[in-house]
Amino acid sequence: MPHAARNARDPLVWCLGITILFLALTLWRIGTPGRYYFDEIHYVPAALKLLDLIPANREHPMFGKEVIAAFIHFLGDKPLGWRMGPALSGTLGLFAFSRLIWHLSRRRPATLAATALLATNCMWFVQSRIAMLDMIEAGFCMVGLWQFAAALNARTTARARFRLILSGMALGLSLGAKWSSAPALMMPGLVFLVLRIRENGLFIVGRKGAGPIKGISLLEATLWLGLFPLAVYWATFLPAMFYAPGDHPIAPFGFIQQHEYMIRLQDSVRKPHPYQSYWYQWIVNWRDIWFLFAKVDGSQRGIVMIGNPFSMLAGLVALLWGLWASVFRRRFDALALIALYSACLAMWALNGKPVQFYYHYLLPGAFLMGLLGMWMDSLWQHRDRWRTVATVSLVLSLAMFAVFYPIISALPLPFKNAYNFWMWLPSWR
């Protein structure tokens, strides 16, 4: 890393400021609607049953439901209790994302732009306000990636080791919420191996003081980034080991059998859904999901799960820039985000699951915002009209979030057909 990048000013306070604003906006009116909507009908009852050690929703891992159940226990069986876990996970994930971009790029403008873009890409906001598993999974995924990137930049071996332990724990909890983050969770271990080979050639073991983290051997990295996350993941199934005998509790050493059973349950969902979509539709923001459209809490309200109409498409331009910058400018920060984006998207393109939804684009869409922030930063370094292009792009992204805010936050609509104002494509209806 260049000396100037190592000594760049950390925008920590600004990242915290954006995160706090996001939390405030997320929590404002989070109790509306005052009843279950969309997939809350599955996950909240499952969390309530979990409090009594009754099995439900067994096709998914346990940790996301445990988080929802814990907040219901402390805050009560009401909308605030149902949704507080995802809200705090989304906030934590946004802050972790800002730190990930900083440790990758060491660029203040890129970090702040990417953080603001993710906060306003609509998807991250909508998923932070609904009691589903996806934001808990995505939030802890970002924490794990942040801690790994920070470990690579740590100044001492002890600090790097501590960061790797935190990374492994967060990666395991993310996988324990939902499997969608699995491709991203493999990346830290692969990156450590690649960097090790890059520095030491094929002699990746046995050399004292070898990188990429001095004092951390390949064996130790395998422990913290491979075995430890799996142990944390399996520990999240502990409550299911205490189900009543008639409810088929999980055997402590029944790892393989349990996952065969979960895969069978997931593959059994084949009935078409009116809002199902495919990965190539997600990329161009073609198909949304109506989480809610009903007269509820005294008014007609809607919540549509959609990507920011400007930034999600501008991100595709940034993706092309990232490919160019990776090859011709050796921008390994852009390459890292491209790898994360591609791996998380490829999971859905290749796994053959018949029923998929736009919210599966949550993590790829987030990494796309990181690339868009880096691209804007590269344009701001010019002294011509490209600076204006970057500034206008950021302003349009923020403005588009403001325009769509009423229809992604369940604000009262003046009349039933007012939703047509936001339905710019027939496929969004």
Convert the pLDDT of each residue in 188-230 to its tens digit: 999 999 988 887 776 666 566 667 898 898 899 999 999 999 9
Q: Looking at the domain assignment, is residue 112 inside a domain?
A: yes
Is 300's pLDDT higher than 50? yes
Cα→Cα distances 168→182, 224, 227, 230, Å:
13, 5, 9, 9
Enumerate residues 6+ apart whose C-beta is below 8 A from 44. 36, 68, 72, 82, 131
Q: Looking at the domain assignment, is residue 263 inside a domain?
A: no
DSSP structure string for 336-364: HHHHHHHHHHHHHHHS--S---GGGGHHH
Q: Averaged over 372-388, what is the pLDDT?
A: 93
Q: Looking at the domain assignment, is residue 51 inside a domain?
A: yes
State how far the Cα of 47 lies from the Cα of 331, in Å rounded to an integer.
44
Is 126's pLDDT higher than 90? yes
Q: What is the pLDDT of residue 271?
A: 84
More confident residue, 5 or 132: 132
Q: What percent of the chain has pLDDT over 70?
A: 96
Domain holding 69, by residue range, is 3-245+275-428
Question: For residue 393, with 0-12 CB atoms within 10 Å meaning exposed, 13-18 middle and 19 or more buried, which class applies?
Answer: buried
- Tokens 């790898």 label which residue? 339
Q: Averaged over 50-65, what is the pLDDT?
A: 96
State how far the Cα of 94 lies from the Cα of 96, in Å rounded to an integer.
5
Q: Looking at the domain assignment, is residue 259 inside a domain?
A: no
Q: What is the pLDDT of residue 267?
A: 85
Structural contact between residues 58 and 46, judged by C-beta atoms closer than 8 angstroms: no
More confident residue, 271 or 41: 41
Q: Averaged over 283-295, what is the pLDDT?
A: 96
Can you say whether the dihedral through the CA atoms of 256, 270, 280, 402 is positive or negative?
Answer: negative
- Full-model pTM: 0.96
Q: Looking at the domain assignment, is residue 11 inside a domain?
A: yes
Q: Averaged over 78-93, what is the pLDDT?
A: 98
Q: Looking at the domain assignment, is residue 325 inside a domain?
A: yes
Is 185's pLDDT higher than 60? yes
Q: What is the pLDDT of residue 167?
A: 98
Q: Looking at the domain assignment, is residue 123 inside a domain?
A: yes
Q: Looking at the domain assignment, is residue 268 inside a domain?
A: no
Q: What is the pLDDT of residue 237?
A: 97
Q: What is the pLDDT of residue 198?
A: 82
Structural contact between residues 82 and 40, judged by C-beta atoms closer than 8 angstroms: yes
Number of domain units in the chain? 1
Q: What is the pLDDT of residue 2?
A: 46
Cα→Cα distances 182→58, 167, 353, Å:
18, 14, 15
Of 75, 74, 87, 78, the residue nearest 44 (C-alpha): 78
Confidence tier at 55 by pLDDT (50, 70, 90): very high
Is 355's pLDDT higher than 90? no
